[in-house]
Structure formats: structure tokens, C-alpha cells
Amino acid sequence: MNQTDRIVIIRRLLGEMRIVSRPTLFEALEVSPATLKRDLAFLRNNMNTPIVWDRELDGYRIDPNQTTGAQFELPGMWFNDKEIHALLTMQHLLANLDPGGLLAPHIAPLVERLNKLLGAADNPAEEIRRRVLIVGIGKRSMKLTHFENIGAALLRRKRLRIHYYARGKDEENEREISPQRLVHYRENWYLDAWCHLRGALRNFAVDSIRSVVLLDRAADDITSQTLDSVLGPGYGIFAGDQLQWARLRFSAERARWVANEHWHPEQRGAFEADGSYVLEVPYADHRELVMDVLKHGRHCEVLGPEGLRLVVSDEVRKMAENFPRTFKDGITR
């Protein structure tokens, strides 16, 4: 029986019985007096469990004068070493989901408790940070206060007043919105919300929100089905209601990678006789799809629809006009 199992048994006995005698603990745990002493010390020091020895009743009990409720009452929250390491790794991943580690300050107490649970001299969290490298490309910075206010509005179902900077139009305006869900996509955070100014669902880049005010007005709720039908079916983060299917052919060389890539939940793909790969994905707005097509250069051919072929061809032509030396030297050929 490992220490985790023994700790669970001790806590259960202390919760079920007013007094737990030493013989009862020895029988239940099958350990030596020294091991029992170490387990009780672990509960006191690392789990904040106020265990005291009652001389009059000749047994151990929980001192109600020292209890702090949830501080030591953790039903169902007992982990073995492997599970704790997994939780610490998850914490490291969560803290790196955004540029500033927005969640890190809130889960730091949990990490400290997990470190104590391991009972190791070395700090396992530091070891994980040293051994696991998370590289984020294209992250954009944002303010922690904005993120927290958005999260509060989401959970409390309240409206927000925001000042939003639209990069495409290079303009800023004030909007009242009913937040629906946060989306983490390609290293950045986005907010799906009902915009009361436009009277429609909109997608807002969180880093483009310049100010946030939590309003004491109930948010309008939009069903998940509606959110998915308006913001979910097309390719990428852009919304649209006119769905089309792009057909892209990748060279045999590039197919070895693309065939295993996830472009869209509804994507379809198949290899051709020459080893090339044809990928089909739905899209409602071509902007993000065009960027992903262009990064493959000559290795990707747009088979259809014709409108998408023309957009990609026009982008290539403009690139050739704006960067003639690059194309002349064959860097992008």
C-alpha cells in the first residue's frame, strides 16, 4: 500500500469516527509506528489537516477549532505521484496558452500544494519548465484585467461595454455585447459575442479590446446550435453564412505532411495515383484560407471553386509586383 492510499484511509477514518485509536490505524494500514507517524505528519504539514492526539479518549481526532473548511476538505482530490506530475504539466501548458501566463497567478496556490504533495526535495514544477519547451508563434499580448472581466461576464452571464479596435478598418468604436464563449485559436484568444450595436453575432480578438466595463445587465443567451451554425462551419476564425468547398491539390512531397494535418473538422482528403493529395475544406470567408494556401507556394494548386482560384492568383500577382527581386531570384518558385 503506497502513501496516497494510506492518506485516503486515514482521512476516511477521521471523517467517519469521532476518535481513531492507534490499534485501529495499525490494523487498517498495516504499517509500523514510524510510518504512521510520518503519514500523520504529512497530513498535518502538507495537507493542513488539524489532527490532534486526545489523551482522554486515547486516540486521534480532527480539532474543529483549527479547521478552515475547504482548506483541508478535499474529497476526491487525492492523487498519486504520476497524477500530480500530469497536473503540473497541465498547469505549465495552461500558463503558456497566452503570452502573459494569464492563468498562472490564479493556479499558483494549487501548484504549491501539488509540489508539497509530491514530498520531493526538488521542485517538480521547475523541472517540468526546464524539460518541457513550449514555443508560441504569433502570440499577441493582452491585459490580464480584460481577460478576467470577460471571464467574469461569461460565467455570471452579464453584458460588457467595450472599446474595440478593428484592425482591418483601422478604427475604434464602443459596443455593448453579450459574451457567449471564449475561443483559443492559433495562439490567440477570441470572444464570440452578440453585438447589440450590429444586432448580430460577432467574433472579437481579445487583444484588440482596448477597455472593458462589466455591466449589471443580463446577457442575451444564444444557443450553441446557433453559435456553431454562424461562427463554426467555415474555415478558420472568420464567420459567414455562404459556405463553399475549397479543393486543394498538394504535391507528393508536401502531401506527406498535409495528409496528417487537421485543417477543419469536416475536411475530406484522398491521395491520387501520382502521390499528390487532394484536400477539401469548407469555408465562408476566404481570407484565412488564402494565407494558408500561399504558405505552401508552388506545392499547392487551387482546383476550385473558381472564385478562390482568382483570389489566390491575384495575391500571387501582387506579390510579384511588390517584391520583383524575390520572384526573379526564384526564392518563392
Model pTM score = 0.63
231, 254, 275 - which closes a domain? 231
Same domain? For 182 and 223 the reply is yes
Could you report the per-residue pLDDT of 24-69, keeping only the tens digit for each? 999 999 999 999 999 999 888 877 788 999 999 999 998 877 654 4
**DSSP H helices in 17-138:** 22-29, 33-46, 81-95, 104-118, 124-131
Q: Is position 304 within any domain?
A: yes
Domain that holds residue 223: 144-231
Q: Is position 239 within any domain?
A: no
40, 71, 102 - which closes a domain? 71
Same domain? For 256 and 206 the reply is no
Three cell numbers, residue 331: 526564392
Do residues 303 and 249 touch, judged by C-beta distance below 8 A? yes
How many angstroms separate the CA atoms of 178 and 192, rounded? 9
Count of domains in the chain? 4
What pLDDT shows up at residue 154?
92
Same domain? For 148 and 227 the reply is yes
What pLDDT shows up at residue 180?
95
Q: Count CB neighbours of 188 within 10 A.
A: 21
